[in-house]
Amino acid sequence: MAGVRLIALDLDGTLLGPDGDVSDRNRSAIAAALAAGWQVTLATGRHRYGLVQALVTELGLTAPFVVLNGGEVWAGDTLLSRTPFTQVQVQQLLDVMQAAGCFYWAASVSGVFPQDKFPADVASEQWLKFGCYAERPEVLAAVWRQLQALGPYELTQSNSANLEINPPGVSKASGLAVACRVLGLDASQVVAIGDGRNDVPMLRWAGCGIAMGNASKPVQDVAAWVTATCAEDGVACAIERLLSARAEATGP
């Protein structure tokens, strides 16, 4: 793909292997992309704290990165974008999930709170993303229908047993658009790689969307092509293919 300037990577089920770590081959491929003059970033549903910040540092990534499915965009320690829920929306989400009897959690500016650790004063936090978990698909389907009716909300899933909720208009694609404005790039210069339904917006938005081999068929169907699974270093396979294509296009 000609014109690649930025590669955006999901974490779970994409850059991270089944063991929850980044393989040596994936690390080497990212280093090769950086050496070739491309930028690499992360676009994840996770909070900034912990693994995300550690990987940004370990992998030598300098491009703005996207967390909480677009709820925040950071450049190092500088906040570029943050989109919280209103307090009315927060109470609405809590009412629906509590009535459904599913396990729920939420991420605020300060961290991630499971349902039994919510602050006594919910309004004391800026809430950026909610999620709920249920083993029975019909429970999640009911919550989804209620929130669609009450919305607008951005509703998605990172796996079949969960539901993730962001404020309207917030997605990994909107987060990457912020990053690209800072970098002076447009969507046509971005390659996005992911495996979950929460990756679909960025796979569609990017100039080249690549689905992991372990992604579900609906995710693979929106991608330009499908790489290997996360257990097979699919990120490295994709980057190596992109670098090879560039070498062939530019010649010796």
Catalytic machinery residues:
10
Cα 207 from Cα 191, distance rounded (Å): 6
Provide the pairing of β-strand 112-114 with 208-211.
unpaired
Q: Which two tokens stand for residue 169?
A: 């208009």
CA-to-CA distance for 153 and 169, rounded, in angstroms? 8
**Spatial distance between the Cα atoms of 206 and 224, rounded to a whole number of angstroms:** 10
**Phi, psi at residue 69, to the nearest 5°?**
55, 30
Return the residue matching tokens 């010649």: 251
Residues in the chain: 252
